[in-house]
Amino acid sequence: MTDRSRPELDDTTVEALGKLSEALETVEQARGFLYAFHQLSGKADILLGESLESFREAGATALADDLERDLLGRNVVADRWTFQLVEDYDAGYWSTFRDFDARARDELAGGDRHVLEARMKQRERTPGHPRHEAGPALED
């Protein structure tokens, strides 16, 4: 069994791994916001499309025609719909970030994740107190 807190690692290495892990968690949050942006933009486009018939029924056909021609289905940035932004982010920045995080963990901590947090848990637990157990340990 391996102690997830990796006592053999120096504090500086553990701190660096912790900062990298925190940075990756922030990237994961950004990715979630990007997905939300994608979904909300898509929903807005659907609602815009639904508004066109109402504008036409209200006699605002010129406005409906302009909205349909100039806004409905429009790229959010040049040459890109939102799903393409998500795909580009995933294929580039996000996957590269994850690869470096895995490399750092593999090279420095035997692949273990959250070594900094494991040390914090070890420091803050009350030995013998229910729900303060150290486990589970990792398999070698």
Q: Where are the domains of the chain?
A: 11-43+77-124
Is 31 within 8 Å of 87 (Cβ atoms)? no
What is the chain's length? Answer: 140
Question: Quick check: 138 pLDDT over 60?
Answer: no
More confident residue, 137 or 135: 135
* For residue 7, cis peptide bond before it (omega within 30 degrees of 0): no
Give the chain's largest Cα–Cα span: 75
pTM for this predicted structure: 0.78
Q: What is the pLDDT of residues 14-58, one digit of tens each?
A: 899 999 999 999 999 999 999 999 999 999 999 999 999 999 999
Neighbour-count burial of 89, counting CB atoms closer than 10 A to its CB (0-12 exposed, 13-18 middle, 19+ buried): middle
Per residue in 90-128, pLDDT (tens digit) is: 999 999 999 999 999 999 988 888 887 877 777 777 888
Amino acid, res. 66: D
Q: What percent of the chain has pLDDT over 70?
A: 91
119 in Cβ contact with 56 (< 8 Å): no
Which amino acid is located at 2 in the chain? T
Count of C-beta atoms within a 10 Å radius of residue 20: 18
Q: What is the pLDDT of residue 3?
A: 66
Mean of pLDDT over the chain: 90
Q: CA 132, CA 115: separation in Å to the nearest integer?
A: 17
